[in-house]
A and B are shown apart, each in its own frame.
Chain A
């Protein structure tokens, strides 16, 4: 009986590793292929020239101006999208929880809505809006951050809402107020420190989303990293693949950091 159980446990463990192995193979193989391709020199030699170029920015700008423009645009897009998402979302969600609990369903619905709308449809709606944006602030690719903020809402909302659920915001806010804190102090000194990891998650998710966005930028005729990669892919495949790989790895690193942030906070708490 005991032997049977043990045998079954061993079989399950083996199965588990097989599954993990197959999945990581399927998953990592393309990445290795990318790496191999980008390091392939003339006559099947190993060369890091492409990667060296990637960190040598002045040279990169000169060699591939399109890529450089896309990277710059994406950099600003990331910054502005994260900033706007957080500035819009954090106070709103907290305020709704504290003062307007009846609106919570509505806000949740609104925030999750972009998830249900296909990118193509979104573009059809955004095109006339962007006509106005161009009219007022010009046609810079960086104005895409407005659209990206909408795209990021569902993910950022989920993250922040989860963080808020973990604490009794209402009681904490009331306690702080009774001790003399105004609303700004409540927000800054009480709520934010307690949802720090949720806010970071929201930020990271937004970064990952903006770095990977192609459809809207392309359909609205703007430049960003992915659009540049796509264009470059036609003329200079090596550099475009190298940049894709770098962007992917950057997103993974961010996601890894994200899980790390939550864990470290928990450990900090249990130390006496």
Chain B
């Protein structure tokens, strides 16, 4: 579709990066590796240091300690404007006095390309992000989604070594967000730029990334493929932050944890045997209508092909189960159900 030269991405490595703001330890020995051409999503709750990590990589912020290697070279002391990284910000950041095309040309102009080459490249990039027809518009005449597309085109036009995206979709409405998310992935695969994508939206991270890094309090809790993060969370934090989890009481023994009478394999090691909480995914919970059982359906929410059914156990614990919508007819609120757990590995934590 385009003549975009496929830039072979570079490897990026953050080693033991720390940064403190006053009393806040924003980054606390962050280690992160990005393979050439890879898209890594940094996921974490608000204030966990995602933006700080990205800004330090970009050179907009200095690290207190640690090293940053881009393509094997330490970039300490290289200012932002020499780091050759394309950035898309959460806030709209187009230059208000320039048209969409001129915005995209901005970086090329600084690279002393001829007017004709600039123009051509700008249109090509706007084409790539799907708004070639709006090249002559000013930012104020574009919707939020269109502005972020232009911002993406502007960042990509300079063929950066690394692409940095800081919650570029969070100001957009749900539908535009889904659409643009998929396009960012398509474009990223097409140009092959190593990309770091920061978000607090787990769905976005899981849908978009080659690998997802889950952060908490300035450190990386776990990094792995979306599937890995979801199925094999390494810590209770990851299990509860990514996807829904039921917190159910259980007893940890030598060969697993026993929850509701079912023995389940355990993913994480460092918890003392005895009473624990197990984090059980809704899809690991199975329900069978049984007039003799003592659990009751209390609420049902329909999600399309799937549905979530909330069940109250005799001790008043609430358990959420995910079932196929086809089975809802058998499970109206008030139904007596038997709750069984599938033998899928779970994460346990010490009881709170």
Contacts and interface: CB of A to CB of B under 8 A. Distances in A.
Nearest to A190: B95
A168 B81 contact: no
A168 B93 CA distance: 8
B276 interface: no
B91 A180 contact: no
A233 interface: no
A235 interface: no
A179 B91 contact: no
A175 B166 CA distance: 12
A180 B107 contact: yes
A269 B110 CA distance: 25
Contacts of B164: 178
Contact of B97 (A171, A176, A193): A193
Contacts of A178: 58, 60, 80-81, 83, 85-87, 155, 164
B25 interface: no
B309 interface: no
A260 B13 CA distance: 53
Interface in A158-180: 167-168, 171-172, 174-180
A180 B95 contact: no
A269 B138 contact: yes
Contact of A194 (B85, B97, B110, B151): B97
Contact of B87 (A167, A172, A174): A174
Contacts of A60: none
Given A174-B80, A179-B158, A181-B110, A194 B95 contact: yes
B58 A272 contact: no
A225 B86 CA distance: 55
A118 B14 CA distance: 58
B87 A175 contact: yes
Interface in A173-217: 174-182, 185, 189-190, 193-194
A172 B111 contact: no
B95 A182 contact: no
A121 to B, nearest CB: 41
Contact of A171 (B89, B110, B155): B89
B107 A172 contact: no
For chain B, the bracket of interface size reads 20 to 34
Interface residues of A, number: 21
Specify which of A167, A176, A180 lies most central, judged by the most chain B CB atoms within 10 Å of its CB: A180
A171 B138 CA distance: 18
Contacts of A189: 106
A190 B96 CA distance: 9
B118 to A, nearest CB: 13
B89 A174 contact: yes
Nearest to A266: B140
Nearest to A180: B110
Contacts, number: 72
B137 interface: yes
Contacts of A177: 60, 79-81
A172 B95 contact: yes
B65 interface: no
A272 B89 CA distance: 25
Given A190-B95, A194-B95, A269-B140, A180 B111 contact: yes
B50 interface: no
Contacts of B79: 177
B135 to A, nearest CB: 13
Interface centre among A178, A190, A270 (most CB of B within 10 A): A178
Contacts of B82: 180
Interface string B267-307: 00000000000000000000000000000000000000000
B89 A175 contact: yes
A185 B110 contact: yes
Interface string B86-125: 1101011111110000000011001100000000000000
Interface string A247-272: 00000000000000000000001101
A258 B84 CA distance: 41
B154 interface: yes
Interface string B56-82: 001010000000000000000001111
Interface in B222-237: none
16 contacts: A168-B93, A172-B95, A177-B60, A177-B81, A178-B60, A178-B83, A178-B155, A179-B107, A180-B84, A180-B107, A194-B95, A269-B138, A270-B140, A270-B141, A272-B137, A272-B141
The 3 closest A-B pairs by CB, nearest first: A179-B107, A175-B93, A178-B87
Given A178-B81, A179-B81, A269-B138, 14 more contacts: A168-B91, A168-B93, A171-B92, A172-B93, A175-B151, A175-B154, A176-B95, A176-B106, A179-B155, A180-B110, A180-B158, A185-B110, A194-B95, A194-B96
Interface of A: 167-168, 171-172, 174-182, 185, 189-190, 193-194, 269-270, 272
Interface of B: 58, 60, 79-87, 89, 91-97, 106-107, 110-111, 137-138, 140-141, 151, 154-155, 158, 164
